[in-house]
């Protein structure tokens, strides 16, 4: 039995739709989580960041309005504060995040998901 694949996405995102298409072609079963409907909590964000092997600032969507509103480009926010803000404001989170077992990738570009599926 292969490891479960979970995709954290926003369904209207074009990259998320491309990842969905690749996964359907690959044939493995997977779960899609719209994190605007089912928010990613702080504990899960910490888990995903560990699997991604990146810091919270590396997961931020820097071109989104909320990023500018919260003045995150010129901030001294701690990692804990950034994680809390991402949990409260899903628009801050880069997408899609694809998790498989103890690994995860930020599937940007969508084709990068193939490395996780191999």
pTM of the model: 0.92
Q: Is 13 part of the annotated catalytic residue set?
A: yes
pLDDT > 70 fraction of the chain, expressed in percent and rounded:
98
Map out the domains of the chain as residue ranges: 5-117
Helix, strand or coil, per DSSP, at residue 54: coil
Distances (CA, A) of 106 to 65, 71, 75, 88, 96: 21, 24, 24, 20, 6
CB 66 within 8 A of CB 91: yes
19/111 Cα distance (integer angstroms): 7
User: Exactly one of 3, 4, 11, 13 is catalytic; which is it?
Assistant: 13
Residues 24-44: pLDDT tens digits? 998 878 999 999 999 999 999
pLDDT at 22 over 70: yes
Residues 93-106: pLDDT tens digits? 999 999 999 999 99
H or E element that contains 22:
helix 14-26
Residues 57-76: pLDDT tens digits? 999 999 999 999 999 987 78
CATH topology assigned to domain 5-117: Glutaredoxin (3.40.30)
pLDDT at 18 over 80: yes
> Sign (positive/negative) of CA torsion 85, 90, 95, 100?
positive
């Amino acid at each position: 039995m292969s490891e479960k694949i979970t995709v954290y996405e926003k369904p209207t995102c074009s990259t998320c739709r491309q990842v969905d298409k690749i996964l359907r072609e690959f044939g493995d079963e997977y779960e899609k989580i719209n994190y605007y409907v089912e928010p990613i909590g702080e504990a899960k964000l910490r888990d995903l960041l560990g699997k991604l092997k990146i810091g919270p600032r590396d997961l931020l969507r820097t071109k989104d309005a909320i990023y500018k509103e919260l003045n995150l480009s010129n901030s001294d926010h701690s990692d804990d504060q950034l994680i809390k803000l991402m949990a409260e404001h899903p628009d801050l989170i880069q997408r899609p995040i694809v998790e498989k077992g103890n690994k995860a990738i930020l599937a940007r570009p969508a084709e990068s998901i193939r490395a996780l599926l191999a």
